[in-house]
Amino acid sequence: MLWGILNAENEMFLGSINNCLMASGKKALILPTAEKDKTAQKNIHSYVNGFKDKFFKDYEFVDDTTALNMDLSEYHLVAYGTMDGNLWLNGHRDFFPFVINEESVIFEKELKDQGLIFITAYMNPLNPQKSLLIYTAQTAANIAGANTMFHGPSDYVIGYSGMTLYAGDYCKNDGKWIFKTCE
């Protein structure tokens, strides 16, 4: 077990984007099939496949509809797509402490803007011992290129392609991850 990836007491994944990428074991990357903008969806697939051998060579690539029918409880996961366009993310959206739509990104505050990208490490909703790394945005067109925004040491980053506005770590308490200040 790598230090910082799992909590020794309850073996819960404890975050950081980098720790998601360093996790060992079964891994799957989930790609969207239901983006409204089909050209942007195709661009997401091409974008991710373009660096598959560099960053995701140990991952099983699946589309979101296949992922919904798989038992992913023993997998470390990466998911690309909007919260509506990736059906697997959409099916688990109530598990996350953030809301992302075309009008805003809501985390510890609400950002009403356009073109925002949100990258976050989180627990796999099917097994808190496993990681989930989400690359999402307000629109599918903003996801291809998301990796140009610096990310890694924190639990989440919010910004635009190439520019970070917010980065931070969740407050992790009693198995829940929230944005508010830990008390």
Backbone angles phi, psi at 149, to 5 degrees: -80, 130
pLDDT confidence bin for 1, thresholds 50/70/90: very low
Question: Whole-model pTM?
Answer: 0.90
* Residue 118: both structure tokens together: 């949100």
Please tell us whether the domain made up of 17-178 is placed in CATH 3.30.379. Answer: yes
- What residue ranges do the domains of the chain occupy? 17-178
Summarised one tens digit per residue, pLDDT across range 128-165 is 999 999 999 999 999 998 877 878 778 999 999 888 99
